[in-house]
Structure 1
Amino acid sequence: MKLTLYHAIRYENGKVIETDPPVNNRNFYTYQIGIRTTVFYILLHSTFPFVAFASVVDYSGIKFIDEPEQVKTILSESYKVLDTNLLNQTLTREDTSRLGRHEQEMIRYWKPETIGEVIFNYWD
């Protein structure tokens, strides 16, 4: 992942400002990226090859964004880049029906409201 990520960032003359591994039960890596005057985050799921972009990442929530296009294009060669339409979609009973008992218990306990809050969470 790191090679693909760094290639995508260098392509845009950007830099990795900070990296955070999945700690304290968080199930994703966070890369804070700076490209020109824009600062954003790339989230990489720790188990599945899912990538998302965000403008805010903290325990109070994640604000998902769709940018920048060239970075998305490069990352999509190796990862499933999730867009905001999916991530911000309201979580339904149907969405969780195929999950295991443990995952369903976590959802009942933590009460996520969107698909993005399930995929990128702080309780795994």
Structure 2
Amino acid sequence: MRLERGATGFRGPGDARVPETDATLFRSACWNAARGIGGRVSEPARAEASSFHWVIVTSRAAPYVVLCHAHLPIVAFAAASPVPGQPLSAFVDPPPWGAGFEVAGFRCLLADHLNTPMSRLDVTGLAEAELMQIRYWRPEKLSDLLFNWWD
């Protein structure tokens, strides 16, 4: 899997700005998904000290944590809420209603993809500042790199 510039959320002093994911589009996709299953959406947690935004979509069946990368149109699903500063875990495959995120232009990642070891990822598209962060933080897998609390 080839990573795109902005995957870590970092840029160097002379680098162009990293792209921003449209948070309004993400919220809209969450509300549409919740309406479709008769569920509710929590207040979004914005990416301030992290590389992602997240909400909880609660349905009759179970709550899902929906994570949205702050710089790339990527979403992932988890069974447990993020704990600030801690690596994320408990990733699950997208629920059936997750297809609505793809219709909105997001890529939904499978749990297996998120567990891809760093050694199997192509980082040649990343900026030098991002590669420096990877060398410093030493993420073990894709999820550690995409959904991080690095400062």
Name the TM-score, length of structure 2 as normaliser: 0.73
Moved more, 26-35 or 55-64: 55-64
Which of 56, 65, 68 is residue 41 of structure 1 equivalent to? 65
Change in Cα spacing, 1:36 to 1:112, as seen in structure 2 (3 Å) is same
- Say yes or no: does 1:31 pair with 2:93: no
Provide the residue aligned with 2:101 in structure 1: 75
Q: Which amino acid aligns with 1:8?
A: A
Larger relative contact order (C-alpha < 8 A, sep ≥ 6)? 2
Cα distance in 1 for residues equivalent to 2:99 and 2:52:
20
Per-residue deviation at 1:43?
0.6
Q: Which moved more, 1:35-44 or 1:6-15?
A: 35-44
Structure 1 gaps of 5+ residues are none
Which secondary structure state, in structure 2, belongs to the residue aligned with residue 31 of structure 1?
A: strand
TM-fit CA distance, 1:67: 3.3
**Matching residue within 76, 93, 114 for 1:66:** 93
Structure having the higher strand fraction is 1
Give unpaired runs (5+ residues) of structure 2: 1-24
Q: Distance in 2 between matches of 1:62 and 1:55?
A: 10
1:11 and 2:36 aligned: yes
Q: Is the 8 A contact 2:94 2:110 kept in 1?
A: no
Structure 1 residue 18, shift from structure 2 partner: 3.5
Q: Are residue 91 (structure 1) and residue 121 (structure 2) matched?
A: no
Identity of aligned residues (%): 28
Query: What is the aligned length?
Result: 122
Q: TM-score, normalised by structure 1?
A: 0.87
SS of 1:19's partner is coil
1:121 paired to 2:148: yes
Distance 2:109 2:141 in 1: 13
